[in-house]
Structures are given as structure tokens and as C-alpha cells.
Amino acid sequence: MALHSNAAAQAKKQASQVNKIFKNKKLVNGTPLIPDSSINKATFLKQYTGNKALWDRAFDYLAKTDFDNTAPGRYAIAGDSVYAIVIQGPTKTPEQAKWESHLKYIDFQCVLKDAETMQTAPMSTATISNPYDAKTDNINYNATTDASYTVKPGQILLFFPGQVHRAGLKTDGYDTDKRVVVKIMVSN
């Protein structure tokens, strides 16, 4: 029983720490950044404290970039350590979207306009369809969905290395969207 209470207390403390980090973090248009409850808080805190300067650069970029007037493409934030990819256009069906995971970068996914679905899959259901490509930092899979998230402007999902995910999927009422993926180098 005490072990369960310690774990619950630790989880509550981590959630509070994550909420403090995200408190008052906003996009340039005033939309608050809201971390999804699915984020692994212990992993986030380890990565954030291990690379705080990089995370602060990422948050600064999100707060100072006018995404309404930012074209799709790749944008350097801190060289190859932190960069953003702005994506705009039609969302995809599950058959069109590839499952992926990464080794070197964390995906900080944020919808800017409209909405989309993002999904995760357990590694135990994933079989590699394309092996690791160091240039793109991608491994692609065939996998089975275990969770789906409807993501709206300001909501944040973080996908850590080894976490199988796919994004940019159609969601009810939206056929297009705009999002930014901030790639943050993993802290060892």
C-alpha cells in the first residue's frame, strides 16, 4: 500500500512540475500551450532538465513566431539541435499515414489551426516496415493503434524516442489543418 501511495505522490508531483513549466506558455496569438495528459511526465522532466536551454529556445520560437504568416517548411531554431517543421494541408486517412518512431529527436507536436487526430501504438504490436534512416531520424512500422487523440490548437503531444506514433490524420469536421512539429534533440 505504501509503495502505491509513493507512486501516486510522485506522479502528482511530476504533473504539478509539468504544469508549472507550461504555465503561461503561449503561441504568438495568445493560444495557451496545453500539454496532453498522455505525456510521460517523468520522461519529459528528465529531458527538459537535461536540455533546458534547448527547450526554452523551442518555447521562445513558439511564442514569437507568427504562424498565420509562416509558410510550410523547415525552420532552424538552434541549428540541428532544435528545429521546426510547419505542415499545412489536407489531413490523411490511416492508410495514408505512416507509423514512425525516432532515435535522436523528440517530436513536440502542436496543432495551429483546425484539428487532427494523432495516434500511438505499443512497440509490442509494431513490426518494422522501413529500417532506421539516419537522415530523417525515422523508423517506420506496421502497428495497431492503442490510443487516438483529437488535437486542437494549442494542445501539445510529445513523442519520445522509441514511442510509435502517427500524426496528421483526419478528424471529424476537419479535412485540413496546420501544425508545427518542433524537433528537440534528446538529452542523454
SS (H, E, C) the chain: CHHHHHHHHHHHHHHHHHHHHHCCCECCCCCECEECCCCCHHHHHHHHHHCHHHHHHHHHHHHHCCHHHCCCEEEEEECECEEEEEEEEECECCCCCCEEECCCEEEEEEEEEECEEEEEECHHHCEEEEEEECCCCEEEEECCCCEEEEECCCEEEEECCCCEEEEEECECCECEEEEEEEEEECCC
Model confidence band, residue 176 (pLDDT cutoffs 50, 70, 90): very high
The Cα 169–Cα 7 span in angstroms is 34
Say which range, 11-15, 80-84, 105-109, has the weakest mean pLDDT: 11-15
Global confidence as pTM: 0.93
- State what percent of residues in the chain have pLDDT above 90: 86
Model confidence band, residue 46 (pLDDT cutoffs 50, 70, 90): very high
- Domains of the chain: residue spans and CATH: 2-185 (2.60.120.370)
